[in-house]
């Protein structure tokens, strides 16, 4: 019976560690997305006309692919 309790506690501890690890990865991922977003905004502000051309071209190509 004591062994069952220890096994249950070990499983619970493993689950909590896994959840904590995934939360940490999510926080790192969010930070990376923020960095990419900031860099994209700076690039768009630096080259607004080129950004519009790239966006329209990408939209056209995606439309042709899914047509």
Per-residue pLDDT of the chain (67 residues; tens, 9 = 90+): 578 877 888 888 888 888 877 777 777 778 888 899 999 999 999 999 999 999 999 999 999 999 8
Q: How many other C-beta atoms can be found within 10 angstroms of the C-beta atom of residue 17?
A: 10
Give the model's pLDDT for residue 1.
57
Give the model's pLDDT for residue 59.
93
pTM: 0.52
State the DSSP string of 2-61.
HHHHHHHHHHHHHHHHHHHHHHHHHHHHHHHHHHHHHHHHHHHHHSHHHHHHHHHHHHHH
Q: Which of 49, 47, 27 is nearest to 39 (CA)?
A: 47
């Amino acid at each position: 019976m004591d062994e069952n309790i220890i096994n249950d506690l070990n499983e619970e501890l493993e689950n909590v560690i896994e959840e904590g690890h995934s939360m940490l990865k999510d926080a790192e991922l969010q930070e990376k997305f923020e960095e990419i977003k900031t860099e994209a905004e700076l690039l768009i502000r630096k080259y607004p006309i080129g950004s519009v051309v790239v966006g329209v071209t990408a939209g056209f190509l995606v439309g042709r692919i899914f047509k």
